[in-house]
Structure 1
Amino acid sequence: MARDEDVPEVVAQAHFPPRQLAGRGHGWYRGDCHVHSSRSNGGELTPEQLAAGARKSGLDFIAITEHNASDTHGVWGALAGDDLLVILGQEVTTRTGHWLALGIEPGQVVDWRYGVRDDVIDRHLDQVHHVGGLCVAAHPHAPYPTGTFMYPFRGFDVVEVWNGLWSSDLPWNADNAAALAEWGRGLAADIHRGQWRPAIGNSDTHLDDQIGIPHTVVLADELSTDAILAGIRAGHSWITDSATTEPSFTASAGHRTAGIGERLETRGEQALVRVAVRGVPSGTVTVHTERGVAHRESLPSSGSGVVECRTSAAESAFVRVEVRHPGGQMAALTNPVILA
């Protein structure tokens, strides 16, 4: 949802959140990188309510992404803590698509008053990259004016393939399926050119009980803005609708093993794909390559199981995984392991 009017920027109570939390080292961290307070058009929650919701949902980090505004950046220092990293950001709502600027400077605002034919998008992406930030193509198939993403993905770091705002009753809908299909179709070609863009999923929270549905789980060296953004940028992440869902996904050849977002040197050998899942009773695991669904297997009623199959670099440039609930709703999806 957009905020189109000019916004005066007065950063309130300039107590900005820390960029790093102490005592949180290498590990997987759950976070929601697309969150709005009442400062954004359509938002109904205070920052205090957002922080409480994030903690209740088991999140380790959130990114605050008000529409074209940064004047709430200064209130988050008092709401972050040893258990919640707050990344400063903005949803840039242009006339022909929205994008997320994550990891920007306190009080920084990225201009939004343009469209695809103005040919200025690269300049604004560069401004975010200059401060070490991450640029995310947001909800590419959003069903409202200005929401559909008309820019090429070139220049963006990440694509938001799963957005929860318009699917609160069913967290996975046709708009998300279209975004995932578009991203997936270009994956092999982008890997071949050495410029693939990872997928991310966020709630786009505006209302109560939306936060964390879905969210992204990131492998990072520490719980800090720089480390989380580096993990997302590298594709060391997967997306889920629930804190109880846990897929583990590796591919191995010989004595070599690679995880999500990593590159596996197969040296001409078959790659063993291994997926361990818990938290999806009677769900379905599908393994995807550039040729489509390469393997499909059901999970037991307990929700926990291990799925294995084989592929090769000759057959595909990558392998990735989707896990679905009975009935087809997405439970989790991963970024790829690259096969070489």
Structure 2
Amino acid sequence: MTDVLIVGSGPTGLTLACGLALNGVDVRVVDQRPGPHRESRGKSLNASSLRVLEQLGVAARMTAIGTADLVFRKYFDGAHISDTPFTDALFLGQWQIEEVLRERLAELGVRVEYGTAITGIHQDPDGVTARPAGGPALRSRYLAGCDGGRSTTRELLDIPFEGSTEERSVMVLGDVSAPGLSREYWHQWFTSDGAAMLLCPIPGTDSFQLQASRELDPDGEPLPPSLESFQRLFDRHARMSGIELADPTWMSTWRVNVRMAARLRQGRVFLAGDAGHVHPIAGGRGMNTGVEDAAALGRALTAALSAPSGTVPEEFLARYEAERLPVAAELLADTTERLERVLAAVREPGRGTEAALR
């Protein structure tokens, strides 16, 4: 029987796995995806996350890849208005963060088992049985659902995901190259009508992460993300001739979700990261909060597994939810307020996403 089965191999699941393995816990990590992704997604680590990663022995590797000196270059109605240096975070793509954590986990003797989708979870007094879509059942003493906002773990446990979701997505995202555009800046174009386009360089690559207001068709309906649409949005906002976006390796949409799980624990099963809470992206707190969740859950499970044989260390297990559920509630309120602050700020020339960080 495995000590802890972790479902999901994003930053939350990998941080938890590395922390447990370092403490001698027998851990297994499964993921329904066929393999690793190369999408920038969450792209910054704050000081708290870096302290957690330093304890895992990977902070220096992250620092070697990322950049801590990024200038926010802001434009308004096409004109360059101001530059704002920012040094309070380490910027790098989420796929790069996951790659370093996977390498560290492999050094600790654990590899992610891809292509393993969990379709059932059953608990008994001695442990948890997880049923994959194919293959034998997976038996563990505890299970951690770190499988994102659409968490299968949360759904199988029938834990309510309370809050609200906007019906229409408001932003398109992607990873593209932009030959000829300076990679020394996070370019942020805003217009007097509140629309925006942002291109943030992903270090060590030729890619920028693109974030932009949705393009609408003649009937006012959002168009799906595409390279052609990205180019039209760029031309409209940047008004720079000779820059052709290319090499799209990721395209997606984003809508405002403000939700949290009614509980982060059900018996021997726990939720962490986006599986337990989703919220506005303003302030870059999502991935970082997941890393902090993983550190707290790792402490609780390590303590529980170190308790005398034959006992149920309830006080250690209860500690995780007691610590992190209030954090999730504060997170939703804080990021909602930050988003409102940014939406107001970007209508003023010279202001940008840094409004969410103050």
* Superposition TM-score, scaled by structure 1 size: 0.28
Higher helix residue share: 2
With CA pairs under 8 Å and 6+ residues apart, which has the higher RCO, 1 or 2?
2
* Superposition TM-score, scaled by structure 2 size: 0.27
Which of structures 1 and 2 has the bigger CA Rg? 2
